[in-house]
A = this chain, B = another copy of it.
Amino acid sequence: MKIGIVGVGHTKFGNLTEDIGELMFKACTEALKDANTTIDKIDVIYIANFSSSFVNQCHLPALLAARLGINKEIIRVESACASGGIALKEAAFAILSGIRKTALVVGVEKMSSTPIEKTTYILASAAGPIEIQHGATFPSLYGLIARAHFNKYQTSERHLAEISVKNHLNATLNPLAHFHKEISVEDVLDSRAIASPLKLLDCSPISDGGAAVVLCNEEIASHVEDVVYIIGIGHDVESIYLMDRKDLTVMPAVINAAQKAYQMCNLTPENIDVAEVHDCFTIAELIEMEDLGFCDKGKAGEMINLGETKIGGRIPINTSGGLKAKGHPIGATGISQVIEIVKQLQGKAGKRQVKDAKVGLCCNIGGSGSTAVVSILSKLHKK
């Protein structure tokens, strides 16, 4: 497959004053401008948004139509924190089918205006009812995953801390990131426990933000300077319950989604030069490193020890700062990952540029990894 990404728009991530309509509008208009096109040239719009409960706003398609002053086919999709990835895939498939030539995909979440107790309650809606009834929260579910990996593979809190330190350092190089604060391994290890072994600085923050991309078919893309192509995309969903997982150290949906994506473009993990993976908690980045095939199962700790995921390493991961430090406005995250890879492949990532990046990968997951979308991007050569 070859779906062109010809424009990107990305608001600042953080505690913002803009409302949800404005965040969508800003990301969309910036992406359209970057694509040197106008909204009337767009065949369909997909919106990714996790929960209408934060600001009590459903029906975002009609809200965006109002904001843009248009009428058009607009669809909202949701699959917890993987909503952005799902929207990208639905739009890419609509173009691949030949039914659409162009699509605008926008992800958005407005979280910071919601009281924290309500936010905790809303976030739980991405877990299964039995888990929630038993008092589980996402930190506690990911805490179980971390403990299982520690026990089976001798990984440690220090490995996780290194992930947080790296992502915070990368974020200092990203003007749009939520946090611009360098931290040390000791800062992470000394931060207060949230759900053992996870500590405050193992967890991604509550952020507002919007991100949008303009997609088009191969024919249109072939005329565009600096186009980046989606060359593979895979999606898989399995049980919402961690208790249904045979081995807590594995995310089968990530393995399946990655396999589909690699097969689509006939590439292997060895071909990936740079990746954005879903570090809602540091342990998630570590598990995904393995399940995406960047190292053997159980060897992510060694890869971290060797500094292979730092900028300048073998496969730099989360050069944007990741969810941990760039921020995690849930619906926007999957699209934001894609934008970072586009910039890396275009050589426009500024101070965080990975040298000679030719192929990049995004891994966007939902819940405790029960939904996964993996996309592979490449600049390819111009026709």
Contacts and interface: CB of A to CB of B under 8 A. Distances in A.
Interface stretch (A3-11, A92-100, A340-348): A92-100
Contacts of A252: 71
A56 B122 contact: yes
A59 B126 contact: yes
A73 B366 CA distance: 13
**Which 10 interchain pairs have the tightest Cβ spacing?**
A97-B97, A62-B240, A66-B239, A62-B370, A59-B80, A71-B238, A58-B125, A59-B126, A74-B237, A56-B125
Nearest to A86: B75
A85 to B, nearest CB: 11
Interface in A24-62: 50-53, 56-59, 61-62
B71 A253 contact: yes
A78 interface: yes
A244 interface: yes
B79 A79 contact: no
A220 B129 CA distance: 37
A58 B78 contact: yes
A66 B235 contact: no
A241 interface: yes
Nearest to A256: B71
Contact of A93 (B52, B97, B129): B97
Contact of A62 (B63, B74, B98, B371): B371
Q: Report how many copies the assembly holds.
A: 2
Contact of A59 (B57, B69, B73, B240): B240
Majority-rule SS of A interface residues: mixed
A322 interface: no
Contacts of A253: 71
Interface string A122-138: 10111111000000000
A302 to B, nearest CB: 30
A367 interface: yes
A129 to B, nearest CB: 7
A327 interface: no
Interface in A228-275: 235-241, 244, 252-253, 256
A129 B78 CA distance: 21
Contacts of A238: 62, 65, 70-71
Given A62-B80, A62-B371, A72 B237 contact: yes
A308 interface: no
A72 B236 contact: yes
Given A65-B239, A70-B238, 17 more contacts: A19-B129, A56-B122, A57-B129, A58-B78, A58-B125, A59-B79, A61-B366, A63-B129, A65-B240, A71-B237, A71-B256, A72-B237, A73-B237, A75-B77, A97-B97, A97-B98, A97-B99
